[in-house]
């Protein structure tokens, strides 16, 4: 049983925190993605778990052992690196055998395990080659093989797919998912690509500026983003965010745009809007929840078409509402032109309201 727990983990470089008070628990057999933009602290967090860099404060446990001060070699982990980090002077066979040799296993047992791992990953025919003679996808498999040959408690993966071309990436994505399923392995996976996180992980930890923003299942993160950062980071195209103000009008609370338009709210959404102490609100909506109207209609806000991107089965349009860009998906049969005036209708049940000051999601409570 290898549960991984981070309790109040900090990593400071001088006065800047690369990782700031991160606490999370990865259950045994879970696939957790650490996701966020460059420099958000996700790789640093992974290196802290691996023991490659020391913590400034906090505690990390793997299984029932506190590993905070243990060497990487004593943590019973395996890691797959972005650049694969295969030993260039060793053959594939020796790359796979290295972790076992370091653990002083008998030769015949090493041979058995190396060949078993090679068979699982379909790289048996490559065993005598050097890493530089392999393609990117093959190197990736060898790197995975070197991780799994030892049967570690936890797999750490640092952007393992980002050096592959787009097609191979999709293929390896499903292979890693399958790998997780077959091995019942605990995997902590770092990526900057929210799509990888959403498609592969059981849970995703969204990080920004060293802080853990939200830690939940991809479905929950997608449906209930905790703040505007998570809202705009997860999902493609990104959630549209429009800064508005909550104003009282005839006993009701309505949203008022910078351009003067007003949007009436449902009862639940009114209660949410009232919780913003400053009255400033960010209105969020995903592209698929929006309705496009070509004439003014009640409950719709005015905008102007900026670009139209047909992709075949769905057409994406970017529409300016005041100064905010709103992404909307349309049926390909709908033909609109840039600069055309349009009206956008929001789905009251699936719109998001965030506090304009704190950026946190507003709850009806």
**Which residues form the interface with another protein (CB under 8 A)?**
47, 50, 52, 71-73, 75, 77-79, 81-83, 85, 87-89, 98-99, 102-103, 131-132, 146, 150
CB nearer another protein, residue 75 or residue 352 = 75
Nearer to another protein, 43 or 270 (CB): 43
CB of residue 132 vs another protein: minimum separation in angstroms? 7
User: How far apart, in whole angstroms, are the C-alpha atoms of residue 54 and residue 75?
Assistant: 13
Nearer to another protein, 140 or 327 (CB): 140
* Residue keyed to tokens 């015949």: 108
Q: Count other Cβ atoms within 10 Å, centred on residue 25.
A: 14
Query: Cβ 151 to another protein, closest distance in Å?
Result: 13
What does the alpha-carbon distance between residue 159 and residue 81 come to, in Å, rounded to a whole number?
Answer: 7
Q: Considering the complex, what minimum distance in angstroms separates the CB of residue 50 from another protein?
A: 6
Smallest separation (angstroms) from another protein to the CB of 327:
37
In which residue are the tokens 């879970």 written? Answer: 30
Pairwise CA distance, residues 220 & 326, whole Å: 22
Q: Which is nearer to another protein, 51 or 303 (CB)?
A: 51
Least separation, in Å, of the C-beta of 47 and another protein?
8
Q: In the complex, what is the shortest distance from the CB of residue 110 to another protein, in angstroms, rounded to a whole number? A: 12
* Nearer to another protein among residue 42 and residue 146 (C-beta): 146
User: In angstroms, what is the minimal distance from the CB of 98 to another protein?
Assistant: 5
**Complex with another protein: residue 136 or 299, whichever CB lies closer:** 136
Min. distance of Cβ 344 from another protein in angstroms? Answer: 47
82 vs 124, which CB is nearer to another protein?
A: 82
Minimum CB–partner distance for residue 70 and another protein (Å): 11
The three-state DSSP-derived secondary structure of the chain is CCCEEEEEEEEEECCEEEEEEEEEEECCCCEEEEECCCCCCHHHHHHHHHCCCCCCEEEEEECCEECCCCCHHHCCEEEECCCCCCCCCCCHHHHHHHHHHHCCCCHHHHHHHHHHHHHHHCCHHHCCCCHHHCCHHHHHHHHHHHHHCCCCCEEEEECCCCCCCHHHHHHHHHHHHHHHHHHCCEEEEEECCHHHHHHHCCEEEEEECCEEEEEECHHHHHHCCCEHHHHHHCCCCCCEEEEEEEEEECCEEEEECCCCCEEECCHHHHHHHHCCCCCEEEEEECHHHCEEECCCCCCEEEEEEEEEEECCCCEEEEEEECCEEEEEEECCCCCCCCCCEEEEECCCCCCEEEECCCCEECCCC
Based on CB atoms, which residue is closest to another protein, 81 or 316?
A: 81
Separation in Å, CA 58 to CA 9, 20, 187: 4, 10, 21
Smallest distance from another protein to CB 321, Å: 46
List of residues 6+ apart from 313 with CB closer than 8 A: 332
């Amino acid at each position: 049983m290898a549960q991984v727990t981070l309790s109040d983990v900090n990593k400071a470089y001088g006065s800047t925190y690369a990782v700031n008070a991160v606490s999370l628990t990865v259950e045994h057999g879970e696939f957790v993605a650490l996701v966020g933009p460059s420099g958000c602290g996700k790789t640093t967090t992974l290196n802290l778990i691996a023991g490659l860099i020391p913590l400034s404060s906090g505690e990390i446990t793997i299984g029932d052992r506190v590993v905070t001060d243990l060497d990487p070699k004593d943590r019973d982990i395996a890691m797959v690196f972005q650049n694969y980090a295969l030993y260039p002077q060793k053959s594939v066979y020796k790359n796979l055998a290295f972790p076992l040799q370091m653990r002083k296993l008998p030769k015949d047992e090493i041979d058995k395990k190396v060949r078993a791992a090679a068979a699982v990953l379909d790289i048996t025919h490559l065993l005598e080659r050097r890493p530089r003679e392999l393609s990117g996808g093959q190197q990736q498999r060898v790197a995975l093989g070197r991780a799994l040959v030892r049967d570690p408690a936890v797999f750490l993966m640092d952007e393992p797919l980002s050096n592959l071309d787009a097609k191979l990436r999709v293929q390896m994505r499903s292979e890693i998912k399958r790998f997780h399923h077959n091995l019942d392995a605990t995997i902590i996976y770092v990526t900057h690509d929210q799509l990888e996180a959403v498609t592969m992980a059981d849970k995703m930890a969204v990080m920004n500026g060293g802080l853990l923003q939200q830690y939940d299942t991809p479905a929950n993160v997608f449906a209930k983003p905790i703040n505007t950062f998570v809202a705009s980071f997860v999902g493609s195209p990104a959630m549209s965010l429009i800064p508005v103000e909550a104003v009282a009008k005839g006993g009701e609370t309505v949203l008022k745009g910078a351009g003067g338009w007003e949007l009436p709210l449902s009862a639940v959404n009114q209660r949410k809007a009232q919780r913003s102490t400053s009255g400033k609100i960010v209105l969020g909506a995903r592209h698929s929840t929006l309705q496009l109207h070509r004439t003014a209609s009640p409950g719709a806000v005015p905008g102007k078409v900026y670009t139209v991107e047909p992709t075949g089965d769905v057409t994406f349009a970017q529409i300016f509402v005041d100064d905010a860009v709103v992404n909307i998906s349309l049926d390909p049969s709908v033909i609109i032109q840039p600069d055309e005036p349009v009206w956008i209708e929001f789905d009251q049940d699936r719109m998001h309201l965030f506090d304009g000051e704190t950026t946190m999601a507003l709850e009806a409570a």
